[in-house]
Structure 1
Amino acid sequence: AAQPTPAEQDAMERMLDDALAAGAVGFSTGLAYQPGGAAQPPELEGLARVAAARGAMHTSHIRNEGDDVEAAVDEVLSVGRNTGCATVLSHHKCMLPRNWGKSRATLANIDRARGEGVDVALDIYPYPGSSTILIPERAEIIDDIRITWSTPHPECGGEYLSDIAARWGCDKTTAARRLCPAGAIYFAMDEGEVQRIFRHERCMVGSDGLPNDAHPHPRLWGSFTRVLGRYVREARLLTLEEAVAKMTALPANVFGLAGRGQLVEGAWADIVVFDADTVEDRATWEAPTLASAGVEHVLVNGCQVHPAAPGAARPGRILRREAMAPAEPGPAR
């Protein structure tokens, strides 16, 4: 693929610098998708140097999450190592059974980079299925693929690709091409590996949710309560306080959101009141938009938004990057 000319690279870097000066937290790359997949290390490192000079970050959907996942992680770590730019690996995973277990190596490489001074964090959503656009090239290598939406065939939302192909009398690749443009859920991850990644001390929780899909992944409605109910209360992977920090203080610190993520005097009052004994996700693969249970109140900037009062104002604010001092340890609340 063609690489940017010096003038094009300079234009990108100036645009990025302008955005960072306005308070953007950093820049993101989607190396697994086009046209982002055309970007090579010199282009990425040029942008990362601009971000590093502003104390900002690079978040990346790495180039490959299957057979080449280790090399893909190392590529992004090298950008951080060579430029001093803080780095986040978005929704880290290892797809396909033959690659399950590779997170032991990828997490070790992340820790090695951290030991060399690279500022690295990552995030997960707590499910063994991923979701993105429907990619026909995956049709024959992943057994279970569920369609979330389809422009030419909206009636197929929620169905499995294999069932659609059988009904149409064709192979799964042909069916996928007929469905496109479309979205899908890919069941190609190992729950044990998801949990291993989740336990890493620099791993945050994120939903990566897609709210407009006709039959979406349940992660938008269930990620955080799933962690609290299944990973904390049931599996006891972490303490409640550790898990809450992965959703609040850690991301606020990583993304430079001053005054957020802590219950301290003078901070913005973003507060969730939940019952630790009953909180749980209710959204399922079959009913993905069911609300969670056990969440009693949600406040944004000190204003109650759940339960929502009729006609209530929306108190949200645009968040801009600000330098944050390390949090002082204090009593659990």
Structure 2
Amino acid sequence: MSATETVLLKGGLIVDGSGATPGWPGDVLLKDGRIAAIGAALSDAGAEAIDCTGLVVAPGFIDVHTHDDALALEQPDCLPKISQGITTVVAGNCGISVVPLRTTEPPPPLNLLGRTAFRFESFAAYQAALQAAQPAVNVVSLIGHTALRFATMGSDVGRPADAAELARMEALLDEALAQGAQGLSSGLFYTPAAAAPASEVLALARVVARHGGVYATHLRDEMAAILEAMHEAADTALKAGVPVIFSHHKCAGPANWGRTQETLPLIDAFAARQDVGLDVYPYLAGSTVLREDLVDGVIEVLLTWSDSYPEMSGRSLADIAAEWGVDQQEACRRLQPGGACYFQMHEEDVERVLAHRLTMIGSDGLPHDRHPHPRLWGAFPRVLARYWREKGLFGLEEAVHRMTGLSARQFRLKDRGELREGWAADVTVFDPRRVQDLASFEAPLRRAEGIARVYVNGALAYREGAAGTLVRAGRALRRGLG
């Protein structure tokens, strides 16, 4: 179907994404790419009627933490996302974005986005390419601090930017925001940004404030110095006058397990004085580039890719090291450049973060890994299956809210995230009894089940049982315009 056709979703449990309204049985009419009506016993002579009895009709899920900058261009079917019920992705997180850097050899961590998409002279050019590719999902974009550093400082990023370089970064960011980027992201945890002082990020955050954007940050430290890193991020945003979003909030490493009992009250304290949000993925392992400082010989490390030894993808670093007769640090060095899953978190911490009132869901999936973390294909169904249905960590309405309405509000997305008349017809229909993630660390590419239908801007983009994406109707969303 096209976005101009009319569909009547009948008899489903309407969970509107607000988090405030209990689910109720009713009908939703989609017409001309918008939600035309919501009510009981609706009728429309020209509509295709779809029986949704026993199913939940919800807003399309919003993945607030992705690295889908290149995926949306190069694999516009976006099957890992649309098959989860995701209709909008926020790209450009962790300081990593394809704009404004032009290179054929992106350095770590920018190489997490692949190698071929760093070719755009401006954010407007990137958006034009997105529109031409017509991805299956809507794309919201952040501009990465690390990408700005490489674009202005070349490879000499092991120091603070000088005045001229910072002015150039500010100008590049200002241009991108004027062209519709949603805000700024930073990844001070990564070596190319670690030398940047808080004052450098503050100057850029002030540019974001002028445009009414947001600031998302992969903290400088998620381990021993996490509280100090949180204060740095919150103080930077407060001084700049921008909302701050703590990306993939976690207390990483066995020595830090349990410290969400410190970090979450601190987030509440920040929220009393400023606009704060956080996101999380529902797994005990993170995934990023292969780094020796993350290989401690205690936690499990699973190799997701290696340029030097691609055949080792999907194997345990400990097993590789034993096979080679070396320690894990040496194996890590031999395998670089590469990526890995690090089993750094504790279940109790993950559940505390998931249950926090400000927490959104973000997959943080890495679509270019040869053997990716299963969150790429399974994060959103996993929240519903494991943490709502099985564990009862929150109610259905709250679970949906964390994937939809809360996300749209914190990222300032217009007319999306809730089922409201006149709003964009991004809708996910799922079976609450069957919805389940099937992707695992052993078999990470398995599609979830129980996602019955997904509509993007009124078009049927995905139907369970179909071979793949049906219609690509996503848009490159511009800040403030939707």
- 1:255 partner amino acid: F
* Match in the other structure for 2:27: none
* Match in the other structure for 1:35: 192
Is 2:462–2:469's contact at 8 Å kept on the other side of the alignment?
no
* Match in the other structure for 2:309: 153
Aligned positions of 1:291-306 closer than 5 A: 291-306=447-462
The structure whose residues are more often helix, as a share, is 1
* Match in the other structure for 1:315: 473
* Match in the other structure for 1:86: 243
- 1:148 partner amino acid: T
Aligned length: 323
- Matches of 1:275 and 1:104 in 2, distance apart? 34
Per-residue deviation, 1:262: 0.9
Is 1:59–1:90's contact at 8 Å kept on the other side of the alignment?
yes
Is 1:142–1:186's contact at 8 Å kept on the other side of the alignment?
no
Is 1:10 the counterpart of 2:167? The answer is: yes
CA deviation map 1:67-99 (0-9, x unaligned): 111111111011112221111111011111110
* Larger RCO: 1 or 2 (CA < 8 Å, sep 6+): 2
Match of 1:35, SS state, is: helix
* Match in the other structure for 1:181: 337
Match of 2:191, SS state, is: coil
Match of 2:233 among 70, 76, 98: 76
- Matches of 2:360 and 2:470 in 1, distance apart? 31
Is 1:60–1:89's contact at 8 Å kept on the other side of the alignment?
yes
CA deviation map 1:93-141 (0-9, x unaligned): 111111011112111111111112x111010000000000111222235
- Matches of 1:141 and 1:45 in 2, distance apart? 37
Is 2:460–2:471's contact at 8 Å kept on the other side of the alignment?
no
Per-residue deviation, 1:323: 7.8
Match of 1:189, SS state, is: coil
- Matches of 2:299 and 2:414 in 1, distance apart? 44
Unaligned runs of 5+ in 2: 1-157
CA RMSD of superposed structures (Å): 1.6
Aligned positions of 1:1-333 closer than 5 A: 1-116=158-273, 118-307=274-463, 312-322=470-480
- Matches of 1:50 and 1:196 in 2, distance apart? 34
Per-residue deviation, 1:311: 8.9
Match of 1:207, SS state, is: coil
- Matches of 2:204 and 2:332 in 1, distance apart? 36
- Matches of 2:481 and 2:462 in 1, distance apart? 30
- Matches of 2:468 and 2:324 in 1, distance apart? 47
- Matches of 1:61 and 1:272 in 2, distance apart? 29
* Match in the other structure for 2:133: none
- Matches of 1:286 and 1:97 in 2, distance apart? 23
Identity within the alignment, %: 46
Per-residue deviation, 1:142: 3.9
* Match in the other structure for 1:328: none
- Matches of 2:393 and 2:467 in 1, distance apart? 36
- Matches of 1:266 and 1:17 in 2, distance apart? 31
The structure whose residues are more often strand, as a share, is 2
TM-score, with length taken from structure 1: 0.93
- Matches of 2:191 and 2:319 in 1, distance apart? 29
Is 1:142–1:188's contact at 8 Å kept on the other side of the alignment?
no
CA deviation map 1:266-304 (0-9, x unaligned): 111111110111111111111111111111111111111
TM-score, with length taken from structure 2: 0.65
